[in-house]
Amino acid sequence: MKIQIAGPGCPRCKSTEENVFNACAELDLPADISHVYDVKEFAKLGVRLTPAVIVDGKIVVSGKVPRVEELKKILSECRQGG
């Protein structure tokens, strides 16, 4: 699973990244996690509001800091193909 966090590096983006790492750890989910800082790059991904979380090319969260529990639910659904 490829997970990208899109955002310029503000505190909200860093919190989102931390929550993604924590959610993956709690789920024991192996994932390729990266942070896209370049505005042009996340615009290419379709992100309009940051922070955003993109799983396998699909935006699953945008414009807010998702809680770990929320991310666990989203990532579990993505892992099951939903």
Range of the domain at 8: 2-79
Asked if 3 and 24 touch (Cβ cutoff 8 Å), the reply is yes
pLDDT tens digits for range 54-72: 999 999 999 999 999 999 9
Computed over every residue of the chain, the mean pLDDT equals 94
Residue 81 has pLDDT above 80, yes or no: no
Contact 53, 71 (CB under 8 A): yes
Dihedral sign computed on CA atoms, order 13, 14, 20, 26: negative
**Mean of the pLDDT values across residues 15-33?**
96
Average pLDDT over residues 36-60: 94
- pLDDT in the model for residue 68: 97
How many independent structural domains does the chain possess?
1
Within 10 angstroms of residue 57's Cβ, the number of other Cβ atoms is: 9
Secondary structure (3-state) at 3: strand
User: Count of residues for the chain?
Assistant: 82
Check which CATH number belongs to the domain holding 54 and give it.
3.40.30.10
